Amino acid sequence: MHKQITYTGMIWLLAAQLVVMLPFVFDLPLWLIPVLLFAAGWRLRVLSGAALQPGNVTKALLIGLGIGGLVLSGLKFPSLDAMATLLLLGFAFKSLEVAQRRDAIVVIFIGYFLVALHFLYAQSITAALYGMVSMIVLTGALVGVQQSVAEFSAAQQVRFNLRLSVFMLLQCLPLMVVIFVFAPRLAPLWSLPMTTQQVKTGVADRMAPGDIEKLSQSDALAFRVTFKGRKPAQHELYWRGLVFNHFDGREWRQFEQDIDSQQVQSALLTNYRWQADAIKVQGEPIAYEVVYEKTGQPWLFTLTPAMEVDGEVLRGADYRVMARQALQAPFLLKAVSYPDSQRDLELAPELRQLALELPETGDARTRALAQQLWRETGTEQAYLDRVLARFRDQRFEYTLKPPTLGASDTIDAFLFESQRGFCSHYAGSFVFLMRAAGIPARVVVGYQGGEWNAAGEYLAIHQYDAHAWAEVWLTGQGWVRVDPTTVVAPSRTEQGLEAAMQAEGSFLADSMFSVRKIAWLNGIRQQLDTVQYGWRRWVLGYDGAEQAALLKSLLGTFSVQGVALLMGGLLAAIGLLWLVLLGMTPRREREALEHQLYRRFCAALAKRGVLREPGDAPGVFAAQAAEALPAVAGVIREFTQVYEGICYAPSADGQQATRRLKALLGQLK
Residues identified as active-site:
423, 467, 483
Please state, in angstroms and rounded to a whole number, the distance separating the CA atoms of residues 191 and 202: 24
DSSP class per residue in 290-357: EEEPP-SS-EE-B-SSEEEEESSEEEBTT--EEESS--SS-EEEEEEE-TT-EE-SS--HHHHHHTT-
Please state, in angstroms and rounded to a whole number, the distance separating the CA atoms of residues 141 and 147: 10
Cβ contact 279:347 at 8 Å: no
Buried b (16+ CB within 10 A) or exposed e, 410-435: bbbbbbeebbebbbbbbbbbbbbbbb
Crossing angle for the helix pair 364-377 and 380-393, to the nearest 10 degrees: 120
Please state, in angstroms and rounded to a whole number, the distance separating the CA atoms of residues 109 and 5: 16
Q: Quickly count: other Cβ atoms within 10 Å of residue 197's Cβ.
A: 19
Q: What is the DSSP letter of 87?
A: H
Cβ contact 529:460 at 8 Å: yes
Secondary structure (3-state) at 474: strand
Q: What is the DSSP letter of 3?
A: P
Give the H/E segment covering residue 619.
Answer: helix 618-628
- Using alpha carbons, list the distances in angstroms from residue 154 to 9, 479, 565, 656: 12, 73, 48, 16
Cβ contact 473:355 at 8 Å: yes
> How many residues are recorded in the chain?
669
Rounded to 10 degrees, the C-alpha dihedral 223/228/232/237 comes to -20
Q: What is the CA radius of gyration of the chain?
A: 36
